[in-house]
């Protein structure tokens, strides 16, 4: 066997020697060679790139902690998870992976957008209709605009990439933040004529999506430039959504469970209905739904393992840590492991009686604060309410017991028969809901000094929530607007984008005031209004010096 092995080795050396002397042998003649110039032939193939963008953005928004709001004024983590959160700023710097993950994701989305646009404009690619081609292009440009706008809010001025990049580049130049926003605005305005008002295919981009982000990016541009004209444009586009006759706030019960109540707490209302399975899409009859990320339990089982919301697991408390409470059923909010926890602002402060009397969003079937012993092996405790002092004792050093927010949970878990363990829910997630557009317009009015109109917009939302207290013009300031966003949009909005696009010290001031961990405030030892450009990006861009954002320099 050893002799045979040596012979094979000698033969291999001979073959390599002969081959290296034969130039023709080394000349490749590939039978197929795919590039972006020849891989696409039909509109359906280009649409697969769009579907990939929808899917990637869905997963990014579902599973990225910072996009959920971790580390902001509304959400943090329990004490025993502090080492993995933004709470401890001593571990956060320009090399932290949280920043590069988000920065790189948006450029990956831009690259896919440019790939789709390049393909859609090739002569050899055929579409069923010209309308289909224009809609394909509009969706791709929407994603490109969205990604640039998000980068502008979080990182400031960034390189604008509007062409397909086919080879490595090391000479990118940062645009100004005004140029970054303006690029996103120009893209969105250009595609408005080719976006439908509604779409029977849930989850696809419609005109209202572009109008919403035009309102947001014009508002952000106005903050950067102190431009009243930009605020006017923000109001214009948000008004087209709010008053255009397509969308309206849901004010009465609707949908799949409109005749039912929360089976754990009792009670239900239209706010509860907004977050039940099957109620999230415009096509479901939800007239305040502008854009949703799609979840499908059958797809989850069949192949993708990503079509779910892990809210009960990540946002759920750990009631089973209480002696006398057993299990992970619906009365526990499922199998919660408390990866995240509401801040004092979200848990209590915004619900204080003087501002939130009557507010349906704080009713027990929407935020459940009461815990009842459920283990019959403790007959003296069974079905009695767990006292606060017991909760405090169990929470000491952990912080893993807090209210169940039913917008992030359910009283009826899907998939238990198929082996699911109540860690996930299987419903669509809002990307844009009309109240967010209303609050953008309220902020634009506020920044113009038109406080009456701002108050009226805020009261549209508070009236639907049946709040006894409606705000007056003299009540309106940024804190009120941000508090109302927390009441209405907790976990729905990208809270870091909201705080950072306001610039100044809004983000750090509110984090310091409402942190879940006051002992760590000193680690937030500088004011900033932008995240850092990832240091790896700066280092890689070797042909042009890329400046770091202030305060994050090495």
pLDDT 10s digits, 54-111: 999 999 999 999 999 999 999 999 999 998 778 888 889 999 999 999 999 999 999 9
Q: How far is 108 from 454, CA to CA, in rounded Å?
A: 37
Which phi-psi region, left, alpha or beta, contains residue 416 (left: φ > 0; alpha: ψ -120 to 50)? Answer: alpha
Q: Which two tokens stand for residue 61?
A: 């928004």
pLDDT digits (tens, 9 = 90+) for 462-507: 999 999 999 999 999 999 999 999 999 999 999 999 999 999 999 9
Q: From 145, 128, 269, select the one nearest 211 (Cα to Cα).
A: 145
CA atoms within 13 Å, Cβ hemisphere of 309: 28
> With the C-alpha atoms ordered 235, 236, 241, 244, is the resulting torsion angle positive or negative?
positive
> Cβ(512)–Cβ(91) under 8 Å?
no
- What 3-state DSSP class applies to 459? helix
Give the start-end residues of each E strand in 155-299.
289-293
- Which tokens in the block code for residue 191? 């595609």
Tokens of residue 15, six digits? 């073959």
More confident residue, 31 or 280: 280
* Res. 4 pLDDT band, cuts 50 70 90: very low
For residue 91, give the 3-state DSSP assignment: helix
Count the helix, strand and coil residues of the chain and give each as a percent rounded to the nearest 5.
Answer: 50, 5, 45
pLDDT, one tens digit per residue, over 528-549 is 999 999 999 999 999 999 999 9
Whole-number average pLDDT of the chain: 93
Structural domains in the chain?
40-184+519-554 (1.25.40.890), 295-427 (no CATH)
Instruction: Report d(CA 78, CA 402) in Å as an integer.
Output: 10
Contact 412, 206 (CB under 8 A): no
Give the contacts of 304 (CB within 8 A, at least 6 positions apart): none
Q: Which two tokens stand for residue 468?
A: 């006894």
| Ramachandran category for residue 504: left, alpha or beta (phi over 0 → left; psi -120 to 50 → alpha) | left
**Distance, CA of 75 to CA of 514 (rounded, Å):** 9
Residue 403 main-chain phi, psi, to 5 deg:
-65, 155
Q: What is the pLDDT of residue 38?
A: 64
The Cβ of residue 402 has, within 10 Å, a number of other Cβ atoms equal to 24
User: What percentage of the chain carries pLDDT values higher than 70?
Assistant: 93
Burial level of 36, CB count in 10 A (0-12/13-18/19+)?
A: middle
pLDDT in tens, 216-256: 999 999 999 999 999 999 999 999 999 999 999 999 999 99
What interhelical angle do 177-191 and 207-225 show, nearest 10? Answer: 160
Q: What are phi and psi of 543, to 5 degrees?
A: -90, -15
- The answer on pLDDT for 3 being more than 90 is no
Percent of the chain past pLDDT 90, that is, above it, reads 89
CA distance 377 to 384: 13
pLDDT value of position 83: 82
Question: Residue 433: which residues within 8 A CB-CB, separation 6 or more?
Answer: 274, 288, 289, 290, 489, 492
């Amino acid at each position: 066997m050893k002799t045979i092995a040596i012979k094979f080795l000698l033969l291999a050396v001979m073959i390599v020697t002969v081959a290296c002397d034969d130039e023709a042998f080394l000349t490749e003649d590939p039978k197929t060679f795919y590039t972006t110039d020849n891989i696409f032939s039909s509109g359906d193939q280009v649409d697969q790139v769009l579907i990939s963008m929808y899917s990637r953005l869905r997963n990014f928004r579902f599973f990225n902690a910072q996009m959920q709001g971790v580390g902001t004024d509304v959400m943090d983590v329990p004490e025993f998870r502090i080492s993995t959160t933004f709470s401890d700023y001593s571990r956060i710097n320009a090399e932290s992976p949280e920043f590069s993950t988000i920065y790189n994701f948006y450029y990956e989305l831009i690259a896919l957008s440019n790939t789709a646009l390049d393909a859609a404009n090739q002569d050899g690619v055929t579409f069923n209709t010209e309308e289909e081609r224009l809609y394909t292009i509009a969706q791709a440009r929407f994603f490109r605009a969205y990604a640039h706008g998000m980068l502008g809010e979080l990182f400031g001025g960034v390189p604008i990439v509007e062409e397909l990049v086919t080879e490595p580049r090391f000479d990118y130049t940062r645009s100004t933040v005004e140029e970054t926003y303006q690029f996103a605005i120009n893209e969105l305005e250009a595609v408005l004529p080719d976006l439908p008002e509604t779409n029977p295919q849930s989850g696809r981009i419609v005109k209202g999506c572009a109008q919403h982000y035009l309102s947001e990016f014009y508002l952000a541009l106005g903050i950067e430039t102190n431009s009243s004209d930009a605020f006017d444009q923000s109001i214009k586009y948000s008004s087209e959504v709010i008053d255009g006759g397509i969308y309206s706030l849901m004010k009465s019960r609707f949908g799949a469970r409109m005749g039912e109540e929360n089976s754990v707490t009792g009670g239900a209302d239209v706010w509860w209905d907004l977050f039940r399975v099957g109620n999230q899409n415009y096509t479901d009859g939800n007239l305040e739904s502008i854009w949703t990320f799609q979840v499908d339990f059958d797809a989850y089982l069949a192949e993708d393992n990503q079509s779910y919301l892990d809210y009960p697991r990540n946002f759920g408390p750990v009631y089973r840590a209480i002696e006398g409470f057993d299990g992970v059923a619906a009365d526990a909010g499922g199998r919660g492991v408390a990866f995240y926890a509401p801040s004092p602002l979200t848990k209590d402060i915004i619900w204080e009686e003087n501002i939130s009397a009557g507010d349906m969003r704080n009713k027990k079937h929407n935020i459940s604060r009461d815990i009842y012993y459920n283990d019959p092996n403790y007959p003296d405790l069974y079905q009695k309410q767990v006292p606060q002092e017991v909760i405090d004792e169990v929470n000491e050093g952990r912080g893993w017991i807090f209210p169940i927010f039913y917008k992030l949970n359910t009283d009826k878990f899907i998939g238990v028969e198929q082996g699911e363990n109540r860690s996930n829910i299987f419903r669509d997630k809002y990307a844009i809901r009309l109240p967010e557009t209303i609050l953008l317009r309220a902020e634009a009015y506020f920044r113009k000094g038109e406080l009456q109109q701002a108050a009226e917009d805020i009261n549209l939302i508070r009236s639907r929530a049946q709040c006894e207290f409606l705000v007056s013009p003299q009540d309106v300031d940024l804190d009120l607007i941000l508090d109302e966003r927390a009441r209405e949009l907790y976990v729905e909005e990208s809270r870091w984008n909201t705080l950072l696009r306001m610039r100044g010290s809004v983000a750090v001031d509110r984090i310091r005031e409402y942190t879940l961990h006051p002992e760590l405030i000193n680690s937030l030892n500088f004011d900033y209004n932008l995240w850092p450009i990832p240091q790896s990006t700066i280092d890689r861009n070797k042909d042009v010096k890329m400046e770091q954002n202030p305060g994050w320099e090495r």
